Each structure stands twice: as C-alpha cells, then as structure tokens.
A and B are shown apart, each in its own frame.
Chain A
Amino acid sequence: MARNLAQAIMYLFPDAAPQIDFSLRDDGEGPYIDIWNLPDPQPDEATLAQAEADYLAAAIAAEQARQQLRDQIKTLAQSAVGETLDNLTQAQLKSLVAILLWKAGAVANDLTINPLSDWVRE
C-alpha cells in the first residue's frame, strides 16, 4: 500500500510544491523526506502521521459530499423526465444543465468548471 506522505505534507503546507519545496524518496523501506526547503521546520513523524490521517478523512468526506451532490442532481434531473420545458422548475433546469456540463467534461473533480479551452471547441 503506497503511503500518502506527499498528500500529508500538502495538507500541512497547501502552497508547498513537490520537488521544489520538498523531495520525497523511497529506497525500498518506505518513503521519507529527502530534501526540505520550506522555511518552516520539517514536521516530525508523529505530525506527518496525524496529517496523513486528517488528509484521508478529508478526502473521504469530500468524496462523500461529491457523491451526495451527484445523487441529488440525478434525482432532480430524473424528476424532469416527461415534463414540458415551460413547466420545469429552476432546480430541474439547473440539474439538467449540470448533467450536460458533466457529459461535456466541463466539471472538474472539485466540482468547479474547467477552463473553456478544455472543453469548448473553437
């Protein structure tokens, strides 16, 4: 099982850039911090382990929130099936647009809209 050491560091220092502010290495006995260039002191193992657990918990919570939102949108869109356009509620319209955006590759993993250049043909 790969360790999430990089994510743990990024969780503690969101602006840190891998390979610039820090470098990690694994010579066969697990990853470790090879180079530390941030002005902050290098975190100890206990801090890193806690950050790794916090990162994983936050990632799971974010994925659950995304899944919940997806389910809500799908349910709303499903409720629009069979309705005429002028009878659609704002919420139904929004959900239908959201689904079309997803299909077009316009929505990033964090639910923000990707740059138009990524999904709109010139």
Chain B
Amino acid sequence: MEPDVDTGRVDSTDTDGGDPNVPRGRLTVVVRVADEDTAMSRAVGLDPAAVAGVRIVVRRVGSGSYEQVTGMQGMADFPGLLYGPWTLSATRALTDDERHALPADAEDVTAFGGGATHTVARGVDTIIVRIRTGRQGTVVISEIFGYIPRTPSGLLYYTGHYIELFNNGFTTEYLDGMLLGLTYNTTQETQSTTCDQAARWRLDSLGIWTQYVYRFPGNGTSYPLAPGVRVIIATDAIDHRAFVPELLDLSGASFEFLGSADVDNPSVPNMISVGGLEWAQALGHGLYVSPIEPKFFIAAPVSLDTLPREVNLAGQEHVRIPRGAILDVVTSRLTPELDASSPSIRCEQIVHPVFDEQPARLHDNTRLQSLARRVASAVVRVIYQRTRNSLADLETAAPSP
C-alpha cells in the first residue's frame, strides 16, 4: 500500500523516495496479543501470535502518516520510512459477530488495541506490538475542546473550553460525586525533577496521582447519565461568541467550573474543587485545557480523605485516585510538528500504560477542533472505542455542541 499522505517533503528533497542518498528503512510490524488476553482473542477466532486485520498507523513529524492492515501472518510492512522516531498505533475493532462470541463477562470488549514508539535507524527493522482488549467502559471522556483562539489583535482567549463525558455503558450512571481531574502534572524534565525521578508518581500502576481534581455536585442521584447520553462541562457556561465570534455557545452546558473572577450561570451547576490546588487560578475561571498537554481522568466517587497523599520533589502534595476507581483516562501531546519546535524534554509516558498505553499526538490549540474519541460502533447506538490507548482511540474532529 502506498503512503496516503505526504511523502517526506519536509525532511528531504527526495520527494519520490528515489534518492539513494536519503537514508530510509523498512519497518515490519508484527502484531501479537498480550499474554493476559490470549484466551479472549482465541474466543473470537484471532491467532494471538499473528493477529490479522489490525489497522496499523505510523506517524513521524514532517512525514505525515502511513496506514497498513496486517495480513494473515499478523504483519504489516512499511517500506521507505525515513530514519527517525515513529509512533505506531494498532487497532483491531471487533465485528458484531466476534463480539457475540465473547464470554458473558466480556460483553463490553469492543476492540483490541496497542501502540509503541520506534526509531527507524536501519535498513530493515522489525517491531512486535502487543495488543490488549479494549472495554467500552461506562463513563468515558468522549471529547476535549481546548481551542485557544487569537482575537484579530493577537490576544489569546483561554476560557471557551469544555470537556465532554459520555456514558459508553449499558446502564445509567450518576455523576454525583464523580471526580474529574488532571493526571500527574509534571511530564517533562524540570530543574528539580528528571523524568525518572517523577516516574514514581507519573507511572504508578496503582492509581493516578493528582493535585487538580474537581467533584461533581449532587446528593447521589441528582445527575443521572443514561447510556448513550453525553454531558458538557464548560470552563465558563456562557455564550463565548460574544467575545470571539468563532467560539461556541456553551451557556447550555451541563456543568461549569467557577473561579474567583468568574461569571456564574445560575442555571448551570458548578464543579467543586477538592484538590490541593485549583487549576490556573490566575485566570480566575477554573479548569481549562492545558495549551500543551491535555490529560484528564474521570473517576467513580471516592472519599479523598482516605487516599494516600505524597509530596513530590517540587514540594507539591498529590493524592492518589485508586486504579479501581478510575473510569477513563485520556492523554495527548502536541502534534509532532508542534512538539518538535518545543525545547522541553518530554517524558515518554504521561501515565502508566494500564491507564493509557500511549498519548495521542493530536493536540493543536491553534485549531478550531476537538480531540474526540473514535466511534467503535454505531449500529444500534454509538459505542466509542476505548482500548486504553489514546494514540489509537482519539482523533481530531469538529467540536460537537
């Protein structure tokens, strides 16, 4: 299969791949099922040692993306890749027939997914990607809108953001008391902390360490969320078009964050800050999407008083939301093009892979677009893909409200 976009114009004058002086390599991707999910794959008729029909997308800054589907040997071949770091995502959505073949306790498995990063530096290279089952879950983060428009004068407007939640499950869930927060905030090298030093909190498989977390209001049954229904949590639940015409009317949001220099829409309930800190109080408008790295989690109601707390090397206290309470995690970095121009040293993982295998590389706050979860199925109702791999699960889309 030929590359579907861009053939490397940014990296080289070798636009057709025919220049023998430009170093290129061949990458062979072998897809296998992770050990813990081999039984599940056999149940649906997939060979765990060689998974066929897996959609593989590789992407490198300046080179666009290339897509292949694995053949019967579970392999996909990418010839002519420029030397350098590539990201790979692997997704194998299950058909309805395959899902019917799953055991009863696995009815929410919708796909297998996985991902990796790999540096092409040789003529011929092979990498093994292990995929895991993706369960559709219950309440998931279905969309993040973090557009930061510039006014005609060049000023930045931060507060027209929202996060969308969606009940991906089969039963009504109650948002009351649920927690919405940011995963561990230090994900790049700082003067005080290296990535390795921060790994203790950033990559803890037992939970998500956070200092920015908000609780949904309600008394337990105030805010039901039926299956297939979505809610919008806005930074400011107002009509932002009054300030930046291209922005959105969020006055009908379901919830809003409230800061100290903020307007309060009386018809929209306010999120309650329960973390060590409130996000970006300097703006006085509550939580908004990080310009460089969206990374959110949603968790079932849990009493923070009972949870472990630790202070990181920067002296910041964090609380750990236990793994069992985490309902969904979504992370993304800037697009590779934007990230390449940043001098910061990014840590490889934002959270432990049990929560999110790989961050997406899609965030671009200069574009009027959202990070949206891919749809896995829309036959009866929308079911979002949730392989716990943002690299595979997210795509960019027009904002939904």
Task: Check if A and B associate.
Answer: no
